[in-house]
Structure 1
C-alpha cells in the first residue's frame, strides 16, 4: 500500500510548478498568443466569405476588392500562423534548455553519496530522454493546442450566432469523448512513467557495459551482456506495445466520433435546407467551421497524451531537483598552510547496523607524512573520503588549526588538496586538458613542461606526436598506467597543494614504473602535509606516523620501527613484504 501511495504522490501542481520554474519569457508568450489570435481571426473570416459568396452568388457579385480581401486574409493567416508557431516553439526550446541547465547544475552539486546509489546512465537518461519528452510537449504539442483552443472557441461563438440548434448537436459529442478518453489518458501516464523508468535503467545498464568493454571481453561475458541487454530491450518493447494499444484505441475512437458528428450535421442541415429554414451558404459555412473545430480537437488528444507522458517524465526530474545538494561555497575561505590537522573520535557508517569507522583519532603536524596501513576492507579509503569531504562523519570532528573543518568551505578545502589515486582518473581530451582540469588560470607551455619534468613525465610526452596536445582517449586508455600516474602527479604539482592525498598511488604499477613514480612523489611530497594509503609497506617506512587500521579501528600507531616492535600483524606484514 505504501508503494502505491508513493507512486501517486507526484501531482499536476508539482508538474506545472516545474514548468513555471523555467521562467518562460512573458514577452514571447504574449507575442505568440497575439499572433495566434490574429491567425485564428483571419481563419474565422474565410467561412463567412464563403457563405456570402454562395448565398448571393452571381458573376456581378465578384469584384477585385472582394478577391483582394480573400487573398489578403489567406496571406495574413499564413504569415501570422508561422510567426505564432515559431514564437511558441522558441518558448518551448528555451524552457527545456533552462530545465536542462537546472538539472545539470543540480547534478554536479549533488553529494558523492547520491552517485554511489545511482547509475550514471540513469542520470544521462533523465537529462536527455526525459527532457526530450517535455520538449515535444512544449515545442510541438503546446503551440498546436494553443492555436487550436482559440480556433475552437472562436468557431463555436460564431456557430452559436449562426444557428444554436445545430451547434448544440455538435456539442453532444464532447462529453461522450471526454468520458472515454480521460481514463485512457490516466493509463497512458502510468505507462509513460514505467517507460521512462525502464529507459533510464536500460541506459544505465548499457552505459556501464560499454564503459567496461575490456572487462566484458576479458571475462568472455559477451553472451551474458547480450542476454541482459536483450531482456531490457524486450521490457521496453512491452511498454511500447502497451502505449501503442492506447494510441490504437484513441485514434479510431476520435475518427468515429468525428465522422458521426459530420454525418449528423450534414443530415440535419440537409433537412433544414430542404425545409427552407437554413440557407445553403450557411450549411457550407457551418461545415467549414466544423472542420476548424475537428482538426484542432484531434490534436488535443495528442496534446493530452503527450501531457500525461511529460508528467511521467518530469517525476524523476523533480526527484533529482528536490534532492539536497552540496553547497561547496558555504563556509570560510581559509589558508591551511602550516596548520595542524586533527581528527577527533570519528565514527562513520553507511548503514546503521554496519559501522565502518570507530573512534578514529590522530594528529598531523605541518609537513608530516601520515600513513594508513592495514588489511583490505579496514576503512582506509572511507577515512580518505571523509578527509576529502565526500562524506560527513556521523560523530566526531576534524579540525584545522583548531578550527572545525565544517566551518571551512568545501571549495576552499579541496582547492588546497592534491589527490593521486591508484587508478588516476583521466578525461578524454589532450594531456594539456587533463593537466589543467579544474583550474581557472591559463598556463603557458613552459609552466606545463616544468611540472611534467618534476613528475618525470616530460620525457615520454616529448616523444608523442602532438606532445602536450596528444589525445589520451576515454579514461586515458592510450597511455600506460605509469604514464597516467605521472600525469596525475604533474597535475597535482600544477595545483601547488598544501595537502597531498596518495591513495595506493603505486600499487598497480610494475617495478620500473613504480620506481619512477616514487621519485616523482618524493618531489611532490617535499614540504607538504601528506596522507598516504599503502598496501606496500616499502612506500611508507619513512612516514612520520603510521596508523594501522583493522575493522574500522586503529589498533596500532607509531613509526615503522615502533610498529614492527609493538604490533604483531604489522610485523607480519613487514616480514612478508620487506624481507
Structure 2
C-alpha cells in the first residue's frame, strides 16, 4: 500500500497562511497515494450511489403508478443495488482515508520527536515539558481530524453535492439556478465561521498545553505538593487552566451550533422557493410527476451534505491551528553542528581561552574571560557560592550551550571542530539532578550508546559505584524495574546508578556536578574511594559543595561572579587565607 517516497523536508519554511499550512499538511499524504486514490474512488462510488438514490425516485413513482411485475422486480433490484453500491463506497472511503490519516500522524509525530532530540538546550529552557508533550499528543491528534474526518467529509459530501447538482441541472436547469441563488449567502456564513474557528482553535491548543503542563508538574512533584500543603493551590491552578479550555471549547461549540442552523435555514428557503416555482407551468415544462419528485428529492438530499461540508470547516481550522503549532517545532533550527573532527578517543587536555558566555536574554556575561589549562588526566574542582558560574562553565564543554566569546580546546582542537556526537562521546556526566528511566537497572546503567555492553561490564561498573550492595537485594537484581525516574530507589541509590553509568562509559573526560550530594556519609566515603580510582588517567571536572570531597584534587578553582577568583591545591589555598579558606572555615565551623 505504501509507496517509498521521502517525507516532506522538516526544515522547510513555515507557511504564513492557513491554506499554505494545509497544503503542507496534505503533502504528507503523497507517499500513501495508492491508499488515498482508493479512498477517492470510494467517495466517488458513495456520491454516485447517493445521486442514484435521488434519481431512483422517478422509478418509485412509475412503479406506484404502474405496479407491473417487471416494475416491482426492477424497483427491488434498484434499492438493493444502490445501497450495496453505497456500502462499498463507504468502506473504501472510510478505511483507506483512516489508513492515510494515521500514517500521516505517525510521520508527523516521529518528525516532531526527532526534531526535539536535535534542538538546543535553550529551546527546552524556553518551553515547558508539559507543553511539548501536548504538541506530540493533543495537537497531533487534532491534525488527524483535519487529514481524516475533514478530507473524508469534504470529498464524500462534496462529490455528492456535485452529483446531485449535475442531476438537477440535467433534469431542469431553470429550477437548479433558483436553488443556487442562495449559494453566496451560504459561502459568507461559512467564511465568517471559518475565521472564528481558526482563532478559537489556536487558543484551545495553548490552553491544552497549559493543562498538560500544570498536570505534569503536579503529578511529578506530588511529594512536595503534599508535604507543603499545596493541594488546594494546585487544584486552583488546574481549575483555572481547565476553565480557560472550557470557555474556548464552548465558544467553538456555539459558533458551530449557530452557523449550522443558519445554513440549514438558507437551504430550506432555497427548497421552499423551488417548490413554489415548480408549480408555475412555464418553469415546470414537460416534467412528469416522477421527475418532479426526483428533483425535489435531490434538492432535499443535498441539505445534509451541504451541512456536513460547512461544519467540516471547524475540524479543518482545528487541524490547521494544530498543524501550524506542530510545524513551528519541526521548523525550529537544530543544534549547530558544523564540526567534522571525530577522534576515537582524545587524551583529555582542556584549554579555556578567554571564554565568555551570556544567556540570550541577559545583557551581562555569566562567565567573563575564563582562561584555564587542564593537562590530560588532571582533576580540577570548582567551588564557589551559587550563581558563580560553576555549572555554566562545565555545560559549555559538551556544548549544551555555545560560548559567546573566546575558545575552548580539547587536545588543541576547538570544540567547534568536533562533531557533536564525537565530542559528547568523549565526556561522561553525572549531575545532582539524576535522570533515570522507567526501565530495568541494567538498562539505566547501559543506556543509549552503552546498550550493547556485556552483563559483566555492567556488574563491574555497578560494583565500582558501590551499587551492587543494593542491586543484589532487589527482587530481580539488575533486571528490576525502577519506576518513573527511579521512584523505587533512594536518592543515594539513584546517584550511584548515575555514577555507574558514567563509569561504564569509560570516557577520557569526566564531569561530576555535585555527584555525591545525595549520598549519606558512609556511602559518600565508598563513592569517594571509587571516584578517586576512576579519576586516574581521566581529566575530571568536579563541582562540589562539600569541600571535604575535593581536598585531594590536583587543582581547586574558586569561582566568583563568573570569574576565577583563586586557583591552587587545597593546602596552598588554605595557607593563602583567601576566599577558599573562608569557605572552608564556614563549612567546618557549621559541623557539630
TM over 0.5: yes
Q: Which residue of 2 aligns with 1:50?
A: 57
Deviation at 1:344, TM superposition (A): 0.8
Asked if residue 34 in structure 1 is aligned to residue 41 in structure 2, the reply is yes
Q: Which residue of 2 aligns with 1:540?
A: 550
Equivalent residues in 2 for 1:500-515, closer than 5 Å: 500-515=510-525
Q: Which residue of 1 aligns with 2:114?
A: 105
Q: Distance in 1 between matches of 2:29 and 2:534?
A: 47
Q: Which residue of 2 aligns with 1:338?
A: 347
* Contact 1:10/1:315 (8 A) holds in 2: no
* Contact 2:193/2:255 (8 A) holds in 1: yes
Asked if residue 363 in structure 1 is aligned to residue 373 in structure 2, the reply is yes
Q: 2:146 aligns with which of 119, 137, 143?
A: 137
Deviation at 1:260, TM superposition (A): 2.3
Q: Against the structure 1 CA distance between its residues 326 and 174, is the aligned structure 2 distance closer, same or farther, given a 3 Å change threshold? A: same
Q: Which residue of 1 aligns with 2:420?
A: 410
Q: 1:177 aligns with which of 178, 186, 210?
A: 186
* Contact 1:328/1:411 (8 A) holds in 2: no
What SS does structure 2 have at the residue aligned with 1:355?
Answer: coil
Give CA deviations for 1:34-55 in whole Å, capped at 9, x if unaligned.
2322332233333333314424
* Contact 1:32/1:84 (8 A) holds in 2: yes
Which has the larger displacement, 271-280 or 254-263?
A: 271-280
Q: Against the structure 1 CA distance between its residues 49 and 273, is the aligned structure 2 distance closer, same or farther, given a 3 Å change threshold? A: farther
Asked if residue 452 in structure 1 is aligned to residue 469 in structure 2, the reply is no
* Contact 2:434/2:495 (8 A) holds in 1: yes
Q: 1:150 aligns with which of 138, 159, 164?
A: 159
Q: Distance in 2 between matches of 1:233 and 1:496?
A: 48
Q: Which residue of 1 aligns with 2:482?
A: 472
What SS does structure 2 have at the residue aligned with 1:342?
Answer: strand
Q: Against the structure 1 CA distance between its residues 361 and 567, is the aligned structure 2 distance closer, same or farther, given a 3 Å change threshold? A: farther
Q: Distance in 2 between matches of 1:382 and 1:22?
A: 44
Which has the larger displacement, 256-265 or 216-225?
A: 256-265
Q: 1:91 aligns with which of 97, 100, 105?
A: 100
What SS does structure 1 have at the residue aligned with 2:365?
Answer: strand
Q: Against the structure 1 CA distance between its residues 327 and 468, is the aligned structure 2 distance closer, same or farther, given a 3 Å change threshold? A: farther
Deviation at 1:216, TM superposition (A): 1.1
Report the RMSD for the aligned CA atoms in angstroms. 2.2
Asked if residue 25 in structure 1 is aligned to residue 35 in structure 2, the reply is no
Equivalent residues in 2 for 1:8-407, closer than 5 Å: 10-21=17-28, 23-55=30-62, 57-60=65-68, 61-62=70-71, 64=73, 67-68=76-77, 70-272=79-281, 277-326=286-335, 331-350=340-359, 351-407=361-417
Give CA deviations for 1:444-491 in whole Å, capped at 9, x if unaligned.
433322221121111211111111122212221211122112111111
Q: Distance in 2 between matches of 1:276 and 1:232?
A: 63
* Contact 2:56/2:78 (8 A) holds in 1: no
Deviation at 1:330, TM superposition (A): 5.2
Q: TM-score, normalised by structure 1?
A: 0.93
Q: Any unmatched runs of 5+ in structure 1? A: 1-7
* Contact 1:339/1:400 (8 A) holds in 2: yes
Number of equivalent positions: 572
Q: Distance in 2 between matches of 1:454 and 1:498?
A: 17
Which has the larger displacement, 35-44 or 195-204?
A: 35-44
Asked if residue 490 in structure 1 is aligned to residue 500 in structure 2, the reply is yes
Q: Any unmatched runs of 5+ in structure 2? A: 1-14
Deviation at 1:442, TM superposition (A): 2.5
